[in-house]
Amino acid sequence: MNLLPCTEEHLDLLARMNKQLIEDEKHDNPMNLQELKERMRMFINTGYRVFIFQQDGEVIGYALVDMTRKPLYLRQFFIDRGCRRRGFGTTAFHLLLKELGADSIDIEVLCWNEAGIGFWKSLGFKERSIYMRYEKTHGS
């Protein structure tokens, strides 16, 4: 597996993968592909680094890391649906840590994303907090 740094030439690809990630984790982010592309452009041009994972020359995922936080913050991590449950996510994560020279990194996982929680726990992540949100609904 190879890990490659991303530039603006990868924005369309990153937006498509980000859209799949949003769908897979059942996130409530309503952004369309163009909006996701522009948000990814903002990330690339600020304190974030974005990497693509390649297996046998094919892009199979990406990672978006906030380099301004200590410990570093892994904001997005995605492995293509057809490549899951084959060890690629684990390999990609360890390659990413090596590239970053990081001994620790933080993540957030939506509480209903049981597959994601299981994956991260299998890599040794431990729960540190409970992040909560209140949203007023009509009629409340």
75-102: per-residue pLDDT in tens?
A: 999 999 999 989 999 999 999 999 999 9
- Rounded Cα distance, 83 and 81, in Å: 5
Cβ(51)–Cβ(5) below 8 Å: yes
- Band (137; pLDDT cuts 50, 70, 90): confident
Cβ(94)–Cβ(80) below 8 Å: no
Assigned token pair, 111 = 């509480």
Give the mean pLDDT of 128-133: 88
Q: Nearest to residue 107, comparing CAs of 65, 79, 78, 140?
A: 65
Domains recognised in the chain with CATH numbers: 2-122 (3.40.630.30)
Task: Specify the DSSP element, H or E, that contains 74.
Answer: strand 72-79
Q: Which residues pair with 3 in a beta bridge?
A: 53
Give the mean pLDDT of 94-122: 95
Inform me whether the pLDDT recorded for 8 exceeds 80: yes
